[in-house]
Amino acid sequence: MLQGRVFRGTWATDAGLVTRAQLRSTAWRRLREDVYADAALPDTHRLHLRGVALQMPRGAALGGRSAADLHGIHGAAGPADPVEVVVPRGVRWDPAPGIVVRTADLDGAVVARGPFLRWTTGVRTAVDLARFAPLDDAVVLLDQLVHARVVDLAAVRAAVSALPVCRGSARARRAAAAADGRAESPQETRVRRLLLSVPGLPAPVAQYEVTTGGRLLVRVDFGWPDHRVALEYDGVWHDAPGQFVRDRQRLSALAAAGWRVLVITAADLRTPAELIARLRAALR
């Protein structure tokens, strides 16, 4: 009955499902005080937030990166990242380490699943991330939420604009203005942020569709159609079966259409000056 589950130890022992001695065996992973999980479950942020959800005060909800994880944003938080919880005003909670607590009104801003799992809605999650995450991370996460269709960017910008002057409100407006929701990966957002920060560099068109004879040829990560230059980020998705062949075909099609393609990797982002120099040369 406990296989695949996260549970309170006292509940399981009181119900006669397991003894205290058995809880100390390798069959179970201790997540925090009186909270255990089936040891076969992968060690993810989702696992840890499920444990925290069993201990949250009544009316509280998971928020920030933890809520983004529950909205399906892959990589929003890892197993070592703190679980983020929003508690209603007037509720005091002094949790153990590994939990970040914020106090705020939650009326109408909560999604619930079952008796314990509660997290902030998509727009509320986006606004909180825009307010409290570092600016670059906030833009990345907003792009992911929009691209995954968890939220509409216009709705997020409207909610951010409606914020009173408060902690993080100015940063939230900057983050919402910088997001565009087109990036298909966090690194694409970071590349776009880099390109837009360079003085004198023409702004690229994200997810530009190259056409020939009125027919879609390929879509590139970033395009400068006036210069027939494209920039592609080479990420781990290229490991998919058959992807290498498809990539070669795309590059050949672009070359045949008169386009020059720069392919970059994570290593190029560590030497941005060299990357920008290559790009300037291509645009010339």
Residue 239: is its pLDDT beyond 70? no
Per-residue pLDDT tens for 94-151? 898 999 999 999 998 999 999 899 999 999 999 999 999 999 999 999 999 999 999 9
Stretch 58-64: mean pLDDT: 96
What is the pLDDT averaged over residues 80-101?
94
Q: What are phi and psi of 205, to 5 degrees?
A: -100, 115
237: confidence class by pLDDT, cuts 50, 70, 90: very low
Tell me the average pLDDT across 197-221.
Answer: 90
Cβ 254 vs Cβ 261: under 8 Å:
yes
Show the domains of the chain with their CATH numbers.
Answer: 6-41 (no CATH), 47-178 (no CATH), 186-283 (3.40.960.10)
pLDDT at 241 > cutoff 80: no
Q: Of 154 and 250, which is predicted with more confidence?
A: 154
pLDDT tier for residue 73 given thresholds of 50, 70 and 90:
very high
- Half-sphere exposure of residue 172, counting CA atoms within 13 Å on the CB side? 25
pLDDT digits (tens, 9 = 90+) for 252-270: 888 888 999 999 998 999 9
